[in-house]
Structure 1
């Protein structure tokens, strides 16, 4: 079985046009991923009587997450075995192990926002190893589409081309890439990013005339690589791609082994990391996985795979000279990657890439931070460069202040349902939080907003640095760098401007299946009895999150209330620093007194790899994490809510607000 470190060059052609250029023609199966599970199953087992052209008239499945394309535990592999697991997590459980690979679709088709969620490149390799060469969708999430391009899978949102292929036409590759810019097109032509590098392309991106720039454009322009020099009278252009030098690169144990294999295969066994002191390796995602995996039928095999990923990562980190943030002596991790980067590393004006979609968390300090796949990180280890398509920027103007008992999680869930944010309006764009309401949000609350930008389909989010930012940086101690303050020019251009009155926001909840299923909590009329409550992850495990949990649990203790029998409640800190913060304030004792189990740092239940995961489809969890895609945290149903609501729910044993349970509101 081939490892990715030994992979062959992706297929470069499915036909020829007689002139040496690549062409694409239909010579295999087409899978149309419909909302109707029966229609999908009939295609896979051969019992269907309707062809692809007819099935395209049916509603297509939207928002297929990378968790559905390849469940988290399947990422313990990073070879051709991924093809057997392709679409194993798809909602409805229509696709069994090996089913997609047996069908071997040359083309796969779905609806809006294909590839939302995690940055895991395992998802596109699962499709590739199952036979997929071309992916059609109404729209694509940025990281998924970039990962496809990097490994040689063609993506297309023009369904007229699909109609032509189904009619038997042979089409030039350029028909599929005409909406791409020159560098993107060249990468596709070369079969992927590594092929593009070997070809030594000298494509020069285009620039606009000098103009006022927003903060995101300024950061990109300040970090342009020498291989795409900017003319003195030029400015970066929205929609154009440039190679940009990074300030920080990090990866976790899910992805490091895959990327390390690519790095060695592409650059040689003697290759070294460029500026290894700016590279970080985190062993955070699977540090508590064994406690969950040991209860599964193939538990010993899975645990062995997890152990192997950790060893491979630690070996690579030691050889490369990068910074390794590994297990804690008391269990779990020293820190979740995003928490550590915000606490100790990120600075205003930095370009930060990480192999995790929630890398955008570091936008809280004014960094341009975003998730990438394994190919991108392997390439960036070698030359510090990342290809950036200059995004449109949506200015979110925060006005007023939040009411008591309402927090940033409610703000984000409100934004996910906002008419200027929902749907595909934010795909690939950046949310730039501005306005007088920003001053009332502490650094941890800003981190929550930036963290969940990717749930809105955005590339990332950030706040321009201010007094709150510099107070946070000052806590790192004397001599710590404060980075480069970058603020938007007067007259800068935005893709949209959204005014959000913070005073009108109320407690929110995201219904199971997607973070975008967000509604005011007060509109949920039926009683939702819960089995588990989880307050943790990079979104809900920060110091201020502990303040919010504690404000509710203190009220419960004062009234003699505890977590009821039959409900399991967990609070998981995001770093050792947060654990020390909670201990100093007596929170750990408080949590224990009301019946809550405190867990050490780890991604844990959020990635289906720690205490708090669901075990059965009928289980209900209310969680402070950032996403609730099908199968993300086990087979059960997951509601997303704020730390206030999570804590109140833990005491009530049902989905509830603080006011519902105690007749009053609290404020951390």
Structure 2
């Protein structure tokens, strides 16, 4: 691919031709390894493209979590080191130096880590072809100058030796997206379109129309560079720069983004409204206990400490809010729990360097994850590029039965015919209906948190009396902010009615949260080695209530966690720990043989007690995702707090009803 300067500069469309290698990621990992190990003498690309392509390649697989302790060109050595089956060694992709990478549906699911696209970039990748893309991954690619394309006709033309204009790869993009790609990324776009530069890129609007709550928040937060007239409304599929109310990052990403910030805006640049910026040390606060057991543990621990120091220094210099370690050990809070407990308000636009930023949608905020480039840019001017999503309205009716909770509901939604597969990619889930009134804010947070597991941009509840009761009890108490409520005739891409009374206990089988099935359909006798109740999804106050309700039954019957099973409950914040202590839950958990952990992302990100140590280990977890390698090499089942607690006591994957039933093979 020729640089922009060689293609004639601004105003002349550059052209692209195939001059390097093509790496095809097939379901058969041996075919992937053959392409790299054989130095390109393996099967022909045309033959590989006829094989089934690998779907749902997560960012954990593109670059494992521990590799994110680096944020320079070293990332290229780690490209695809976490790919399922691990068919090649460190540095193999970089040595092959593919100009093009090809895969199937939902490329880049999971974490928002921009390290993944930098790993590809530093390994030589310029174009990524896939049948479909996850939103954050695609935006991260665009921001750093990697082209993404779902038109395999363009791939065929490249393979045939044709030289194609850039527009052949960006036909589905809107004008701003095309301009960002053409100008080499977000920072290049800003240089060419601000401060009197030649390039003038404008967002289009539709005539004034009824808006849903998601669209209303976007329209209210529009930046001055794309003002909306009184007779206009934002248009679905169009991108606009909007001003975020809250911006946050964690220690995985802050150092990378801080380097970008200084390089792009200068050593003397300051954060816009630093009081609305938050810096969390939550992901790696318990990592040392896991890393010290690894061969290169001392080096990894040093890298983790360096990330923490650099983040704390940047937060101190910038004047932002630093949320660091806790006296009890671990962190003061996981970022999502803290934002929900203390910061988010209805109508806010919240961005964070984590895909589960959408947790704050539980109180009616429009919250979504971004990468390092986006947060660095937003630190400077509060602006974030937002593509107006199609919205799926999820209408909840009835009530959940006893022993069933929001986690079961979300796992059911992941298998729903209107939501499964790629039907929700880039869309927003807007929860409503009378049934939602029976869900407290912690349960709503579980649904919003895991909307991203469905490929959605975000999840959100319209605020109601449950929301305002919660805000009034917060410390400090908060008002309703700029709450957004959908217009009566607002537009939705689909309306999905869910009868809560029909939801049953669910479980996600190992490998992907979307492998969701009723627990009763899983063959009996799944023995477990570890049980983990925690993370931003499973470490809230109401989650503690659910764990405790099961463990109370166990203690009353004199039953505890059996030998050979390690069980952990991890609180999501200091507030949750106080809640659990006041109710006697901590003593209860310990009485039945459960280890209690302080706040941290911990095992969910393969950085704390509860991670698996071998491929043979089986874990049942209340966390939100179970992509290969995310929480260690073992097999991870996802389940509700009720099922997690029952499984801990039974020693095998169990419902509450079955946890005291002896197994025939025990």
| TM-score, with structure 1 as normaliser | 0.97
* Structure 1 residues 11 and 593, CA gap change in structure 2 (3 angstroms): farther
How far off its partner does 1:526 sit? 3.5
Match of 2:260 in 1: 262
How far off its partner does 1:236 sit? 0.3
Aligned residue pairs: how many?
Answer: 654
Aligned Cα RMSD in Å?
1.3
Question: Any idea what the Cα deviations from partners look like across 1:483-517, whole Å, max 9, x if unmatched?
Answer: 11211001100011100110001000000000000
- Which of the residues 37, 44, 53 maps onto 1:60? 53
CA contact (8 A) 1:15 1:23 kept: no
CA contact (8 A) 1:243 1:385 kept: yes
Match of 2:31 in 1: 39
Deviating above 6 A after TM superposition, structure 1's stretches of 4 or more consecutive aligned residues are: none
* 2: CA distance, partners of 1:12 / 1:553: 62
* 1: CA distance, partners of 2:32 / 2:524: 32
Match of 2:192 in 1: 199
Match of 1:7 in 2: none
* 1: CA distance, partners of 2:237 / 2:42: 43
| TM-score, with structure 2 as normaliser | 0.97
Pairing of 1:109-124 with structure 2 (within 5 A):
109-124=102-117
For the residue of structure 2 that corresponds to 1:269, the secondary structure is: coil
* 1: CA distance, partners of 2:390 / 2:66: 35
For the residue of structure 2 that corresponds to 1:497, the secondary structure is: strand
* Structure 1 residues 481 and 135, CA gap change in structure 2 (3 angstroms): same
Match of 2:182 in 1: 189
How far off its partner does 1:482 sit? 2.4
Moved more, 460-469 or 477-486: 477-486
CA contact (8 A) 2:336 2:356 kept: yes
* 2: CA distance, partners of 1:553 / 1:649: 11
Establish whether residue 548 from structure 1 lines up as the match of residue 539 from structure 2: no
Match of 1:74 in 2: 67
* 1: CA distance, partners of 2:300 / 2:179: 39
Question: Any idea what the Cα deviations from partners look like across 1:194-242, whole Å, max 9, x if unmatched?
Answer: 0000112431111111111000000000000000011221000000000
For the residue of structure 2 that corresponds to 1:242, the secondary structure is: strand
Question: Any idea what the Cα deviations from partners look like across 1:83-130, whole Å, max 9, x if unmatched?
Answer: 000000000111310000011000000000000000000000000000
Match of 1:587 in 2: 585
Gaps of 5+ in 2: 194-198, 662-666
* Structure 1 residues 478 and 277, CA gap change in structure 2 (3 angstroms): closer
Moved more, 222-231 or 375-384: 222-231
- Which of the residues 431, 434, 451 maps onto 1:436? 434
Establish whether residue 91 from structure 1 lines up as the match of residue 89 from structure 2: no
Match of 2:393 in 1: 395
CA contact (8 A) 1:11 1:191 kept: no
* 2: CA distance, partners of 1:477 / 1:289: 30
* 2: CA distance, partners of 1:638 / 1:178: 39
Match of 2:645 in 1: 647
CA contact (8 A) 2:471 2:477 kept: no
Establish whether residue 527 from structure 1 lines up as the match of residue 541 from structure 2: no
Match of 2:341 in 1: 343
* Structure 1 residues 477 and 514, CA gap change in structure 2 (3 angstroms): closer
* Structure 1 residues 652 and 195, CA gap change in structure 2 (3 angstroms): same
CA contact (8 A) 1:535 1:646 kept: yes
Question: Any idea what the Cα deviations from partners look like across 1:343-385, whole Å, max 9, x if unmatched?
Answer: 0000000000000000000000000000000000000000000
* Structure 1 residues 433 and 333, CA gap change in structure 2 (3 angstroms): same
* 2: CA distance, partners of 1:574 / 1:16: 51
For the residue of structure 2 that corresponds to 1:30, the secondary structure is: strand
